[in-house]
Amino acid sequence: MSKPAATEAVHLPPAEIRRLQTRLLAWYRQHHRQLPWRESRDFYPVWVSEVMLQQTQVQTVVPYFLRFMKAFPTLEDLAGADPQDLLRNWAGLGYYSRARNLQKAARIVLREQGGEFPRSHREALRLPGVGPYTAAAILSIAFDQPLLALDGNVVRVLSRLFRLEGDPARSPVQEMLAAAGRQLLPAHRPGDFNQALMELGATVCLPRNPRCLLCPWSSHCEALKAGVQERLPEKGKRPDTHLSRQAAAVIRHRGRFLIRRRSDSRLLQDMWEFPGGEFSRSDLAGSLVKYLESELRLNVRLRDRLTVVKHAVTNRRITLTVYEARLNPPLPPTLSIPGARWIWLSQAGRYPLTAAASRIVQALTAEHLHRRGRPESGRRQVGLAAPLKP
Q: Which is nearer to ligand SF4, 137 or 215 (CB)?
A: 215
Instruction: Check: CB of residue 275 under 8 Å from CB of residue 296.
Output: yes
> Residue 203 corresponds to which amino acid?
T
160 contacts ligand SF4 (rule: CB under 6 A): yes
Piece of the chain touching ligand SF4 by CB under 6 A; list 2-10, 213-221, 337-345, 366-374: 213-221
Task: Indicate the pairing of strand 242-253 with strand 300-313.
Answer: unpaired
Q: Which is nearer to ligand SF4, 23 or 38 (CB)?
A: 23
Q: Which is nearer to ligand SF4, 96 or 217 (CB)?
A: 217
Instruction: Check: CB of residue 193 under 8 Å from CB of residue 25.
Output: yes
Q: Please report which helix (H) or strand (E) contains residue 257, including its range.
A: strand 256-261
Q: Which is nearer to ligand SF4, 17 or 345 (CB)?
A: 17
157 contacts ligand SF4 (rule: CB under 6 A): yes
Instruction: Determine the length of the chain.
Output: 390
Q: Which of 89, 218, 287, 362 binds ligand SF4 (CB under 6 A)?
A: 218
As measured in angstroms, the least distance from the Cβ of 205 to ligand SF4 is 3
Q: Which of 139, 215, 284, 309 binds ligand SF4 (CB under 6 A)?
A: 215
Piece of the chain touching ligand SF4 by CB under 6 A; list 90-98, 111-119, 210-218, 347-355: 210-218
Q: Which is nearer to ligand SF4, 172 or 207 (CB)?
A: 207
> Residue 371 corresponds to which amino acid?
R
Other C-beta atoms lying within 10 Å of the C-beta of residue 181: 22
Q: Which of 136, 204, 289, 353 binds ligand SF4 (CB under 6 A)?
A: 204
Q: Which is nearer to ligand SF4, 215 or 259 (CB)?
A: 215
198 contacts ligand SF4 (rule: CB under 6 A): no
Piece of the chain touching ligand SF4 by CB under 6 A; list 208-216, 271-279, 304-312, 362-370: 208-216
Q: Which of 25, 212, 226, 369 binds ligand SF4 (CB under 6 A)?
A: 212
Q: Which of 217, 274, 291, 351 binds ligand SF4 (CB under 6 A)?
A: 217
Q: Which of 159, 206, 193, 201 is nearest to 24 (CA)?
A: 193
196 contacts ligand SF4 (rule: CB under 6 A): no
Instruction: Check: CB of residue 353 under 8 Å from CB of residue 361.
Output: yes
229 contacts ligand SF4 (rule: CB under 6 A): yes
Q: Which is nearer to ligand SF4, 129 or 210 (CB)?
A: 210
- The sign one gets for the Cα dihedral 371, 375, 380, 386 is negative
Return the C-alpha torsion angle 256, 258, 259, 260, nearest 10: 140
d(CA 158, CA 43): 27
Beta-carbon contacts of 266 under 8 Å, excluding residues fewer than 6 positions away, are: 97
Number of helical H runs and strand E runs in the chain: 14, 7
161 contacts ligand SF4 (rule: CB under 6 A): yes
210 contacts ligand SF4 (rule: CB under 6 A): yes
CA distances from 107 to 68, 111, 124, 346 (A): 17, 6, 14, 33
Instruction: Check: CB of residue 79 under 8 Å from CB of residue 106.
Output: yes
233 contacts ligand SF4 (rule: CB under 6 A): no
Task: Indicate the pairing of strand 316-327 with strand 242-253.
Answer: parallel
As measured in angstroms, the least distance from the Cβ of 160 to ligand SF4 is 4
Q: Residue count at the site for ligand SF4 (CB under 6 A)?
A: 14
What positions carry a catalytic annotation? 50
CA distances from 260 to 232, 249, 270, 299, 338 (A): 46, 11, 9, 16, 9
Q: Which of 93, 141, 205, 322 binds ligand SF4 (CB under 6 A)?
A: 205
223 contacts ligand SF4 (rule: CB under 6 A): yes
Q: Tell me how far the alpha carbon of residue 390 is from its chain's centroid.
A: 9
Angle made by CA atoms 315, 316, 318, in degrees to the nearest 5: 150
Q: Which of 197, 224, 288, 357 binds ligand SF4 (CB under 6 A)?
A: 224
Task: Give the residue ranges of DSSP H helices in the chain.
Answer: 14-31, 43-53, 58-71, 75-79, 83-90, 97-113, 121-124, 132-143, 152-161, 171-184, 190-203, 222-226, 284-296, 355-371
As measured in angstroms, the least distance from the Cβ of 283 to ligand SF4 is 52
Piece of the chain touching ligand SF4 by CB under 6 A; list 92-100, 122-130, 207-215, 311-319: 207-215
Binding site for ligand SF4 (CB under 6 A): 157, 160-161, 204-205, 210, 212, 215, 217-218, 221, 223-224, 229
